[in-house]
Amino acid sequence: MSNPTGKSTKKFTYEFAKSIVENAGYKLLSNEYINTHSKMKFECPKGHIYKTEFNHFKKGIRCPRCGGTGKLSYEYVKQFIEKEGYVLLDKEYKNNLTKINLRCPKEHIFKIKFNHFKRGQRCKKCFKKNRIKYDYEYVKSYIEEYGYKLLSKEYINYNTVLTMRCPNGHIRKTKFYEFKRYDCVYCSRLTSSIEEEFKSLIKQIFAKHCFLENKRIEKREADIIIDNKFAINFHGDYWHCNPNLNKKFSKPNYIHNTKRVTAKQIWKHDEITKQIFENNGFKYLVIWENDWKTKREFCINEIQKLVGVLPPV
């Protein structure tokens, strides 16, 4: 597994690397895994094929054409800007280093490079007027709306580094404007290990049944197949935007920080996966990461009812 610095503490297996890649919605095209620094071939959800180190992929560096090292689409840039309450006035987007024309919520028109906007730079006129806009109570209330706990006792301005605890107990230090755009980095790394634990336990429970992992039909995959009739997918809260867990994820236009697509697109992708398996004769079930953490017995009972081990209640 990995520690919070992202450095490998032991050698991973090919199966583990594959599960990490596919849990992110990508395909692993390479047939062997050597170590975290060896380049492997990937295919992103949009069909772009590229090579990178597995270590880089694990840290969140994704498709160069879809992500920050390749050219971003006009639609992505427009959505990102509008999510912040600004309006993109230009009709085309060239690259991160070319200035674009924006209008802020106060109707000020200004130019800025998109990579600067992504890093938090905004309208200078508004910034000068409103840099002490938020007080401690507002910041505390905003943070706790998302299930976090603010541990710092003071907030001065946008440069204040705040200490907070995420819903999963990770202690994090960040500035308020960074919190508004980025999720807990430790939570985004946990899903794969929890999924492996989930698969291992379900495999033990259904040891007498035919049990398959990572079965693919029509380019869509199920994490577990039981008796070739029941398909189960484990959905990580972060990767699949659990709308019942996080206020950000419940917004259809929320742009996922790693996948660079909206929550609505992620949900649609997952719904199509469900339809494909059901159209091929499978009974289909999704287990959410948070439900597995907090209601494990309930999740196991749902799977047993699906398979027919227990009669429906």
Expressed as residue numbers, the domain containing 27 is 1-70
Residues 280 and 199 in one domain: yes
Q: Is residue 313 part of a domain?
A: no
How many Cβ atoms are within 10 Å of 40's Cβ, its own excluded? 22
Kindly state the percentage of the chain with pLDDT values over 90.
28
Q: Are strands 99-103 and 87-88 parallel, antiparallel or unpaired?
A: antiparallel
Q: Which two tokens stand for residue 102?
A: 């924006």
Q: Which strand ranges, in their side-by-side order, compose the sheet holding 211-217?
A: 211-217, 220-226, 230-235, 283-288
Residues 99 and 54 in one domain: no
Residues 23 and 44 in one domain: yes
Question: How confident is residue 55, by pLDDT bands cut at 50, 70 and 90?
Answer: confident
Kindly state the percentage of the chain with pLDDT values over 70.
85
Residues 244 and 214 in one domain: yes
Question: How confident is residue 7, by pLDDT bands cut at 50, 70 and 90?
Answer: very low
What integer is the mean pLDDT of 166-193? Answer: 72
Q: Is residue 126 part of a domain?
A: no
Is a pLDDT exceeding 90 seen at residue 248?
A: no
pTM reported for the whole predicted model: 0.45
Q: Any idea what the CATH number is for the domain that residue 206 is in?
A: 3.40.960.10
Q: How many domains does the chain have?
A: 4
Q: Is residue 195 part of a domain?
A: yes
Higher pLDDT, 106 or 67: 106
Q: Is residue 40 part of a domain?
A: yes
Residues 248 and 191 in one domain: yes
Question: Which residues touch 118 (CB under 8 Å, ≥6 apart)?
Answer: 80
Is a pLDDT exceeding 80 seen at residue 67?
A: no
Q: Is residue 312 part of a domain?
A: no
Per residue in 275-313, pLDDT (tens digit) is: 999 999 999 999 999 999 899 999 999 999 999 875 444
What confidence score (pLDDT) does residue 97 get?
A: 76
What confidence score (pLDDT) does residue 12 get?
A: 78
What integer is the mean pLDDT of 36-53? Answer: 85
Residues 226 and 255 in one domain: yes
What confidence score (pLDDT) does residue 312 get?
A: 44
Question: How confident is residue 161, by pLDDT bands cut at 50, 70 and 90?
Answer: very high
Q: Is residue 129 part of a domain?
A: no
Question: Which residues touch 214 (CB under 8 Å, ≥6 apart)?
Answer: 18, 19, 22, 221, 222, 223
Q: Is residue 229 part of a domain?
A: yes
What integer is the mean pLDDT of 110-117? Answer: 88
Higher pLDDT, 160 or 142: 160
What confidence score (pLDDT) does residue 61 get?
A: 73
Q: List the one residue out of 40, 12, 27 whose CA is nearest residue 216.
A: 27
Residues 194 and 299 in one domain: yes
Residues 11 and 48 in one domain: yes
Question: Which residues touch 106 (CB under 8 Å, ≥6 apart)?
Answer: 123, 125, 126
Residues 226 and 282 in one domain: yes
Cα 275 from chain centroid?
22
Q: Is residue 182 part of a domain?
A: no
Is a pLDDT exceeding 80 seen at residue 127?
A: no
Residues 8 and 66 in one domain: yes
The rounded distance, in Å, linking the Cα atoms of 119 and 121 is 6
Residues 59 and 151 in one domain: no
Residues 204 and 299 in one domain: yes
